[in-house]
Amino acid sequence: MQTALPTAAAATAGTGARLPEIIRRGVEPYEASFAAMRAYTDARDGDSADQLWIVEHPPVYTLGLGADRAHVLHPHDIPVVQTDRGGEVTYHGPGQVVIYLLMDLRRHRSGARLFAREFVHNIEEAVIDTLGAYNLAGERKQGAPGIYAADGPWQGAKVAALGLKIRGNGCTYHGVSLNVAMDLAPFSWINPCGYEGLATVDMQTLGAKQARLADVQDLLANQLIARFAGMA
């Protein structure tokens, strides 16, 4: 069942711009979320609300449009789903925050527009700020989308993945995943995001033993809202 998250997201920015709604979809099979994202985007018009969907998926591998299936090394019994996002293969599973961003990038916000590069930058910054709230340092890597551990024994390991679909009309779906407290073994059965030998880590392994999925879901969602409000 979908439920609205009672946060400031339901309010309007000081400029009068309407902020995205935050919707909790609970634990949901990936295929159901994927179909619903496309249906919402197909049906939206100039008055449709931007939305952030918070979801947790049962184990699944997803492939981007240009993904090489050879990067799925040993899927075991985990389903592999072809999608229409950018990027290569990634894994979603229990203990991971997934937020889908159903946004209209051409929607005016105080005379300005939210362009794709700025959109991606703000998603990445929201992840970095979320990690920082747990005293974890995250960073970008040139040419390798996502967020990586910036220091310590896991330096360079990937902790968050980003994959988007931006249609010609400026409407987006898919989004960002942040590993909180996961079984990390399934990441070793693929070349994550197409990189052979890329280490993948979660927040608890990095030292945030107090990180709980529901708390990180709320924090990342509200960090995203704050970023979009700042651009209003």
Residue 171 annotated among the catalytic residues of the structure = no
Q: What are phi and psi of 22, to 5 degrees?
A: -110, 125
Q: Are 170 and 100 in contact (CB under 8 A)?
A: no
| Euclidean distance between CA atoms 219 and 132, whole angstroms | 11
Annotated catalytic residue, options 193, 208, 211, 220: 193
| Euclidean distance between CA atoms 72 and 125, whole angstroms | 29
| Euclidean distance between CA atoms 140 and 146, whole angstroms | 6
| Euclidean distance between CA atoms 131 and 123, whole angstroms | 13
Distances 188 to 51, 53, 65, 192, 201 between C-alpha atoms, Å: 32, 27, 22, 8, 11
Catalytic residues: 193
